[in-house]
Structure formats: structure tokens, C-alpha cells
Amino acid sequence: MTLLPTFTAAEFRKAHASSPNQNCVRIARKDGWTAVWDDKRASDRITPASVLPADELLLFTDEQFDAYQVGVREGRTDASSLTVAHRADGMYVFRAVTAQPVPEVELIFDQAELDAFHDGVRNREFDRA
């Protein structure tokens, strides 16, 4: 069994093009893993040192997330571990195709949030250090 890392709120970063408010796709990378979080889920109980619960995260190996980033840069994401589905109400749902610590986690973003995230991907803001 693989021991998965925990992620604190302070470990996440958003794209430079993101809103200064709390409505962003956030990414953290640690120990060979990449976590995706929607910071709209943060409440007053979340501090920078807070470990985020697994039911608020999508978790991928670095290789899986890097493949997603390559797909975005090449204009394709159809064979990715991270799927982004456009809903009828205009929102976008992020889901993992891969097994997750908590099944069926969905993160919901609007067009501006998705655009800012993809801008960060294209500008390599989430590449491994």
C-alpha cells in the first residue's frame, strides 16, 4: 500500500492570472504527488498550517499531472487522469479518472477560474521545481 502525503493549505499555489479572492484552482506538489484543491472550500477553520481533508482534494502522481499539463499546452486533454467537464450551467467539473483516497470528489470552477488555471499551466507555473 502506498502512503500518500498530506497537504497543508500553505503548500498550495494558484496561477498568477487568478483572482485575488478565494475562487481559484490551487495546486500543491510533494513527494511525487500533485494535489488539486478548490480554495472556495476553505472556511474560517482553515489556516495555512491546516491539513486539508482528502474529500476536498483530487490527487495525482506527478507523472499523471504533468501529462495533463502537456495535454493543455498541446490543446488536448482527452486521455488525461484529470477530466474537466462543462456543465449546462456554464460551470466546469474537475474529476479524477484514477483511483482516489476518497472516491467521487468533484471540484467546481467557473470559466474565469478555468482560464486562469490553464494560463498558469501554459506558463509552466505548476511545473515541478
CA distance 103 to 117: 23
The pLDDT value given to residue 1: 53
The pLDDT value given to residue 73: 96
Which grid cell is 102? 476518497
* pLDDT tens sequence across 42-99: 888 888 999 999 999 999 999 999 999 999 999 987 778 999 999 999 999 999 999 9
The pLDDT value given to residue 3: 81
Rounded to an integer, the average pLDDT of 119-128 is 96
CA distance 35 to 56: 10
Residue ranges of domains in the chain: 7-123
* pLDDT tens sequence across 7-29: 999 999 999 999 877 779 999 99
The whole-model pTM stands at 0.93
- Most distant CA pair in the chain: distance in Å? 40
